[in-house]
Amino acid sequence: MGYRYSLAFLTVSELPPPRAVEVAARAGFDCVGLRLLPSGTDGPYPILTDRALQRATLAALRDTGVTLADIEIIRITPDFDVEGTLAFLETGARLGATNILTAGYDPDENRMIDNYGAFCELAQGHGMTADLEFMPWTNVATVGDAARIVAAVNHSAAGVLVDALHVQRSDSPFADIAALQDEWIHYAQLCDAPGVFDQRYDALIATARENRQMPGDGDFDFDALLTALPDDIVLSVEVPQLHRNPVVPASKRAAEALTKAKRVGSSRSDLHASGPRVGHIVDE
């Protein structure tokens, strides 16, 4: 089937959801991602409770044929209340979302595993997966951390979310990504960035949320990443560039993001066709 491409929330974060859907469609994306809950100090996001906005978003999805790939963001914290996520899940299900971006912010890994597992059960009941994103400033800092937790949870809705930026900026070798079980990988996020970077946490967060590069414009090894990933997943193009927002229309940035993502994605098609993922552990 090949890759499907999604316009990530952060790439056009200034747009209201119906407009983001329309921009995604015009640029040629298959899917779109939306944020319902804050990742930090951002938000709030009215689509979580505004039924009129939900109806407008559903109409845009229906009229364009774009689907809702993922919704953001569930943070697994020490005081995580799984029942408190029901409104989020109900809204996501109403909009037809497939995946949920999930992040781990609990230093007690056993408690995180319990809470994440409970959330996976609720997510599955609403027709979605819960994809645990490793990020170097969280308590799930590397792909190894994410794999360990997903394996411990052992739930069919659990998954590992691979973001190119965090692969580059954490201890996450491509071989470890290739060794992930295929059923754990529902989508991945593409962007680019310089290979030399400020390693302080505040700088890592600022780059991730505000200043990424378009795929192919930086130093990331997309050949290695895409060889390590399945070839039938959604590639979410996540390229926040807040400095460009006032001067470059969202529609133009979205079109550029898709063109460049497809350029790096197409280079791996021949290698995927030649055999299984390098390093993948296949059950006998």
The 10s digit of each residue's pLDDT in 6-24 is: 999 999 999 999 999 999 9
Q: Decide: 74 and 85 in contact? Cβ < 8 Å.
A: yes
| CA 69 – CA 5 distance, rounded (Å) | 9
Whole-number pLDDT of residue 279: 47
Whole-number pLDDT of residue 173: 96
* Mean local confidence (pLDDT), 82-109: 98
220 pLDDT band (50/70/90 cuts)? very high
Model confidence at 209: pLDDT above 60: yes
Model confidence at 236: pLDDT above 50: yes
Domains and CATH numbers, the chain: 4-273 (3.20.20.150)
Percent share of the chain, pLDDT over 70? 93
| CA 26 – CA 66 distance, rounded (Å) | 10
Give the long-range contacts of residues 221-226, CB within 8 A, separation 24 or more. 221/174, 222/164, 222/190, 222/264, 222/265, 222/267, 222/268, 223/267, 223/268, 223/271, 224/174, 225/162, 225/164, 225/167, 225/174, 225/177, 225/188, 226/264, 226/265, 226/267, 226/268, 226/272
Model confidence at 54: pLDDT above 90: yes
Model confidence at 203: pLDDT above 90: yes
Q: Decide: 258 and 31 in contact? Cβ < 8 Å.
A: no
* Mean local confidence (pLDDT), 32-60: 96
* Mean local confidence (pLDDT), 44-51: 96
Model confidence at 39: pLDDT above 90: yes
270 pLDDT band (50/70/90 cuts)? low
* Mean local confidence (pLDDT), 49-68: 98
Whole-number pLDDT of residue 68: 98
Whole-number pLDDT of residue 281: 34
266 pLDDT band (50/70/90 cuts)? confident
Whole-number pLDDT of residue 268: 61
